[in-house]
Amino acid sequence: MLDLSISEIAHRLVQEMDEAGIDISTPLMMDMEFCKGFGGGTKSFQDQTTETIEAVESVNREYGRTRLYPFIAADPNREDVVNIVIDALKGGTFKGVKIYPVMGFTPDDRRLYPIYEYCMDNGIPITAHCENGGIPGLDDYYHLAHPKYWGIVLNDFPGLKLNLAHNDRTGSPWQAVIGDLIMRYPNVYTDCSYDTEMMFIPRKYFRSIKQMLNTHKIRDRLLYGTDWYMGRCFWTEKSYLKWFTTYSRRIPWCRVEFTGEEIKRMTEDNPRRFLGLN
């Protein structure tokens, strides 16, 4: 995958989406220039943005409908980040914003507040990395993604449409904070993307998801996700989905079964509401 262009990656993703019966996905950009662990040296942000727009528009033209809803990265360390992000959103191709605090900032960084205000006022979704882990080599920065910082942001922007991605590890203290934010604010979501726990401790992992789907409010804020590019060494889109629809109930040491209604809620109803597609 590292040898492919952004356009080739986008077309490969849609091929796997078709195999899995997935209609829409949300590719999430990352601004790697200020990455503390890698020291920059990546593709320029402007080139990445331009190539992403071209790739998404090519895919959507080919299929005659919108298949990819990309989110643009927002790093407060980038000069003029507010205008860059808002102009990209106004351009129409980008449908949301990606926040990755592990790059070296906290979500309550005041330089991001004009972006939050614009997103809240216009119903634009934000997906934020919210896991005590992430890009390899940044162990000293994982704490920056703690959901407590979003509590500060939401106090100022209570209507913000926000997905706290990954839902951290099963039973971790972070999950309780995420759950509290979902209960307190009307547009806070979480997703279950990219977690190897489903393979290593499936009974514990899927029971946790089942419990969320049976909990008031949280059942309507849980999103299915894969973090496809990161998980591609383990699974395809089709095989990842099968863990929820088939493997979770067939594995003798798991035996957790999701109803058709629960799968639909997690994979269709909730994502459509989060993306504003209802």
pLDDT at 34 over 90: no
Q: Judge contact between 205 and 175, C-beta under 8 A.
A: no
pLDDT at 33 (0 to 100): 86
- The pLDDT-based confidence of 196 (bands split at 50, 70, 90) is confident
Q: By the 8 A CB rule, do 198 and 243 touch?
A: yes
| Vertex 225 angle, CA 270 and 40, to 5° | 130
pLDDT > 70? residue 39: no
Give mean pLDDT, residues 73-102: 97
Contacts of 1 (CB under 8 A, 6+ apart): 9, 12, 229, 232
Q: Which helix (H) or strand (E) holds 42?
A: none
pLDDT digits (tens, 9 = 90+) for 90-148: 999 999 999 999 999 999 999 999 999 999 999 999 999 999 998 876 778 999 999 99
Q: Is the pLDDT of residue 170 over 70?
A: yes
Grade residue 2 by pLDDT with cuts at 50, 70 and 90.
confident
What's the pLDDT at 229?
A: 82
Q: Per-domain residue ranges for the chain?
A: 6-275
Instruction: Give the number of other CB atoms < 10 A from CB of residue 181.
Output: 22
Whether residue 3 has pLDDT greater than 90: no
Which amino acid type is present at position 218?
Answer: I
Average pLDDT of the residues of the chain: 94
Task: Name the residue with higher pLDDT: 41 or 112.
Answer: 112
Where residue 276 falls (left for φ over 0; alpha for ψ -120 to 50; beta otherwise) is left
What superfamily does domain 6-275 belong to in CATH?
Answer: Metal-dependent hydrolases (3.20.20.140)
Task: Give the C-alpha distances (Å, rounded to integers) separating 261 from 155, 190, 268.
Answer: 33, 18, 10
